Amino acid sequence: VDQSVCTSSSDAYQYHMKRTGGEQALHGSVRDMVDMMQNQVNEYGSDFTFSVRGCDEECERELEMEIEEEEEVEIEVPMMTPIQEMPWDFKTAFSCQSPSQLTSIARVNSLSTVIAKFIKPASVAKIKWCKKL
Of 130, 96, 85, 87, the closest CA to residue 112 belongs to 130
Q: How far is CA 40 from CA 22, 24, 27, 29, 34, in A?
A: 20, 22, 20, 16, 10
pLDDT at residue number 119: 83
pLDDT at residue number 76: 83
pLDDT at residue number 96: 78
Residues 76-126 pLDDT 10s: 878 878 878 777 777 777 777 776 777 777 777 778 888 888 888 888 888
Confidence class for position 71, pLDDT limits 50, 70, 90 = low
Contact of 96 with 102, CB cutoff 8 Å? yes
pLDDT at residue number 68: 67
The residues facing 38 across adjacent strands are none
Residues 42-65 pLDDT 10s: 888 878 887 766 666 777 777 777
Confidence class for position 32, pLDDT limits 50, 70, 90 = confident
Residue 41 in this model has a pLDDT that exceeds 80? yes
pLDDT at residue number 16: 85
pTM to 2 decimal places: 0.37
pLDDT at residue number 54: 60
Specify the pairing of strand 49-51 against strand 2-4.
antiparallel
How large a percentage of the chain has pLDDT more than 90?
0
Of 45, 56, 52, 59, the closest CA to residue 5 belongs to 45
